[in-house]
Each structure stands twice: as structure tokens, then as C-alpha cells.
Copies of this chain bind each other. A is one copy, B any other.
Amino acid sequence: MNIQFTVTGLKTGIIVPGDDITEILLKSLRDTGLTLQDGDVMVIAENAVATAEGALVTLSENTPSPKALQYADTYGMNPHLAEAVIQESDTVIGGIPGFLLCMKNGTLLPNAGIDGSNAPEGTVVCLPRDPNKSAESIRDRIHEMTGCTPIIIIADSRTHAMRLGCSGVAIGCAGTQAVVDEVGKEDLFGRELEVTKKAVADNLASAAELVMGEAGESVPAAIIQGLSLPMEEISGIPDIAAEECLFMGAALNANPAMFK
């Protein structure tokens, strides 16, 4: 792996449903004067991808279920938002004021990834339907349009257990291993490493977040150049079983009913 890389934000206009996000990002890339190379990493905000794909929900159109009304009451939420979160999530595990903690596609996340910021009035943006497929399709189209094969990361901004503030997390990945297992690698003293799995895609998402903006900056993507990550014809982000996760495993040991 190289020891130096560059991260450059890609400015765009406001993305709206039906936009061709690949074309928009390639235009922005040309405007920065950068030349795309094989293996460059393009990190794109999930919000922009979801919006372009039309994953918007008009809150007033759903009818809150009894469960949604109960969550809305307990956690001080808009009942229509609670209903949308229930519909978008696989399981609701619990909540704190304003947010439900959900499982969706093997990941734990607030409000099932539904975001009210950067969505037109009265609507919310859901996560892209299939972020890995979105990543693959953007990679393939970039290859068609430029001849280069980039690595694509679809990124979200999330809080972590007992940490204040949001940092970048990958929810879709195409073109490289999202998690690299360094099993067999040795430490400084020649013994096998104890902890071997590196969440490379999450680190890429976090690096990009330093130049991307959730506020009205309109920097929904970044290009990371110089890392020389291994390029592979794969997509996806491996998940972890709740029992193997330190946080949920410990919570499960304390309260086995939590996921029931």
C-alpha cells in the first residue's frame, strides 16, 4: 500500500430525483482538473445516491400504525416519521428521544437511515435500495464512459456507541474488499496480530467526510487518489453476527431478549 494519498471534494449542484449522478460527478471531476486513474476511490454520499434514485418518501402519505403511534409518543417523534422508519427497517431494537435504533441489512442504524436534511419540504430521503448495487452500477458506468475502473464507496455519516458526533461509514462498496483481513501478518515483534480485520471502506468514508458536506456545501462526493488499494471484481460489505459484535454481544449477554 502506498504511503501517501490525496482527497479532493467534488462540488455539484443540488441533486434531484432522476439525475444521472455518474455524469454529474464525472463533470465535477473534470472541473477540478483531476484525471481519473484505475483504482482511484470515489466516495459518494448515500443521500445523493438515494435522491438521484428517487428514494424519497412523502411523510403525509403514510398512515401511522399503532406501533408507530406508540414509538412517536415514547420518543417524541413525528408519527409519520416513526411509521416510515418501521417500514424501512428490518427490526426496531429501541430508541432515544428523536431516534429509533434499527437493524437493516445486518447493520445497526438510527431511524433506518432515513434523513430529513437535504430532502425537499415534507419528504425524507431513505437509504439507497441496494447500496452495493448502486456502487457497482456507478463503477460500471464510469468504466464505460472513461475506460477507467474506480473503486466506489457509498458513504453515510453515523454516530457510534458512546462517541459524540458523526463520522463516515461505508454502506456500499464495489471494486475492492471493504474489510481487509490481515490474518497471518506479524506485529513489530514477529508475532501474529491479535486483531486483524481493517474496515478499509469505513476509513475511506471517514477520510472523504472531511471534505464532504452535510450542510448546504453541495460537496456530495470525494475522490481519493494514490492509495493503490487492491482492485477486485467484488462488491458488498461483510457484516458481523450480533453475538460476535463486542457491543451487541455484551448487551445480548446482559439481556438476551433484546433482539426478540
Contact = CB atoms under 8 A, between A and B. Distances in A.
Interface of A: 1-9, 11, 14, 93-96, 99, 101, 103, 106-108, 110, 115-121, 157, 159-169, 178-180, 182, 185-191, 193-195, 197-200, 202-207, 209-211, 214-216, 218-219, 227, 237-240, 242-251, 253-255, 257-258
Contacts of A182: 214-215
A211 B4 contact: yes
A244 B96 contact: yes
Nearest to A6: B6
A4 B6 contact: yes
B160 A186 contact: no
A224 B46 CA distance: 25
Nearest to A193: B117
Contacts of A6: 4-7
Contacts of A106: 162
Given A206-B167, A207-B210, A248 B162 contact: yes
A241 B185 CA distance: 38
A105 to B, nearest CB: 10
Nearest to A257: B254
8 nearest A-B pairs in the assembled complex, by CB-CB distance: A94-B250, A165-B199, A206-B206, A207-B207, A96-B249, A161-B247, A255-B255, A108-B162
Nearest to A180: B165
12 contacts: A5-B210, A95-B249, A107-B163, A108-B247, A115-B194, A161-B161, A162-B248, A165-B198, A251-B251, A251-B254, A251-B258, A254-B257
Contacts of A96: 243-246, 249-250, 253
A206 B202 contact: yes
A245 to B, nearest CB: 5
B186 A216 contact: yes
Given A96-B244, A239-B164, A219 B187 contact: no
B166 A197 contact: yes
Contact of A95 (B110, B200, B250): B250
A116 B191 CA distance: 10
Contacts of A253: 94-96
A162 B240 contact: yes
A116 B238 CA distance: 26
